[in-house]
């Protein structure tokens, strides 16, 4: 993103931006679902991100990484809304069970719903890297750019997230080391990774 | 200052024979997940992404995109 409005912005840039915006929506919704867990909240986040991106389109540097720009907007919006509302970043397990409405597909004995539910038991910092790197194939460097941390931090979060998710999918929550306990409806604390 | 007990550690003879080197432990991934399991988790995450991405867009999003399309089209005219 540039600091100020792009003076060279014209109808061609507008049309190109619109095309990119439409094309990236599936990825945005997927990332939002990973962050929020709940379907409604994720759809709200995706729409909010699209609106914000459109409003700020003239600050987008043409030729730069559009996907990273969009994911950054979404991520910032997500954490801002969490801070403002004081809500937990980890949804309740029942909500996680309702994450997907599509029919389950099976891969080596794993249901997609199981993966979605297990994912929501991880800290947000691990969920976001797993959704970026693991689910969407974003490179470590690009993920680090989106999150604003070192590449090594992304790698370690992916490794820890994968290990915890694997444990959870095996039904070993005690050993997952990332399951957060909700206490009396109070906001759950984010696990802070070593940066 | 007295010399540490293991001061001569670096002078110890290291294995140089090929058969000794072959017995050296292989590098292990730092997440401790067996490769097959890691592959299953990665595949499951990709399926999760695909499932969400294929869900039909909600009405609100469709309206928003239509509105943006109209504005983009208006700007292009």
pLDDT at A192: 30
The answer to pTM > 0.90 is no
The stretch A87-105 carries a mean pLDDT of 45
Chain A residues closer than 8 Å to B74 by CB: none
Determine whether the interchain pair B31/A51 forms a contact, defined as Cβ–Cβ distance below 8 Å: no
Q: What is the crossing angle of helices A151-169 and B35-54, to 10°?
A: 90
Query: pLDDT band for position B37 (50/70/90)?
Result: confident
The stretch A84-107 carries a mean pLDDT of 49
Residue of chain B whose alpha carbon sits nearest to that of A32: B52
Determine whether the interchain pair A50/B33 forms a contact, defined as Cβ–Cβ distance below 8 Å: no
Q: Report the distance separating Cα A68 and Cα A188, nearest Å.
A: 28
Residue of chain A whose alpha carbon sits nearest to that of B73: A15
Backbone conformation region of residue A142, classed left if phi is above 0, alpha if psi is from -120 to 50, else beta: alpha
Take residue A105 and report the two structure tokens written for it.
């597909």
Nearest CA distance, B72 vs chain A (angstrom): 6
Q: A43-52, A177-186, B65-74 — which is least confidently predicted?
A: A177-186
Strand (E) or helix (H) holding A114: helix A112-119
- Residue A108 in contact with partner chain B when CB distance is under 8 A: yes
Query: pLDDT band for position B76 (50/70/90)?
Result: very low
Q: Report the distance separating Cα A52 and Cα A123, nearest Å.
A: 26
pLDDT at A158: 94
pLDDT at B27: 47
CA distances in angstroms from A174 to A121, A136, A145, A170, B11, listed in the order given: 12, 28, 33, 11, 45
pLDDT at A32: 95
Nearest residue, CB atoms, B43 vs list A12, A107, A159? A107
Nearest residue, CB atoms, B33 vs list A12, A54, A163? A163
Chain A residues closer than 8 Å to B59 by CB: none
Determine whether the interchain pair A166/B33 forms a contact, defined as Cβ–Cβ distance below 8 Å: yes
pLDDT at B64: 94
């Amino acid at each position: 993103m540039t600091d100020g409005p792009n003076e060279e912005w014209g109808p061609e840039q507008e049309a190109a931006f619109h095309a990119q915006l439409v094309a990236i929506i599936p990825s945005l919704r997927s990332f939002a679902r990973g962050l929020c867990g709940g379907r409604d909240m994720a759809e709200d986040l995706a729409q909010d991100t699209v609106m914000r991106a459109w409003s700020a389109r003239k600050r987008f540097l043409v030729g730069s990484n559009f996907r990273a720009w969009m994911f950054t907007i979404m991520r910032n919006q997500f954490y801002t809304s969490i801070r403002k509302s004081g809500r937990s970043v980890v949804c309740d397990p029942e909500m996680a069970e309702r994450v997907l409405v599509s029919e389950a597909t099976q891969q080596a004995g794993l249901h997609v719903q199981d993966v979605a539910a297990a994912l929501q038991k991880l800290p947000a910092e691990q969920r976001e890297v797993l959704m970026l790197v693991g689910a969407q194939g974003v490179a470590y460097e690009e993920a680090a750019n989106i999150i604003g941390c070192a590449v090594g931090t992304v790698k370690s979060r992916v490794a820890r997230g994968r290990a915890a998710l694997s444990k959870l999918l095996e039904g070993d929550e005690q050993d997952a080391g990332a399951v957060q306990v909700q206490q009396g409806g109070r906001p759950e604390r984010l696990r802070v990774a070593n940066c | 200052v007295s010399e540490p007990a293991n001061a001569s550690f670096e002078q110890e003879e290291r294995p140089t024979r090929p058969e000794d080197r072959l017995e050296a432990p292989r590098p292990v991934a730092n997440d401790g997940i067996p490769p097959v399991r890691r592959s299953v988790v990665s595949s499951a995450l990709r399926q999760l992404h695909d499932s969400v991405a294929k869900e039909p867009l909600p009405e609100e999003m469709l309206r928003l995109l239509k509105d943006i399309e109209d504005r983009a089209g208006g700007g292009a005219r």
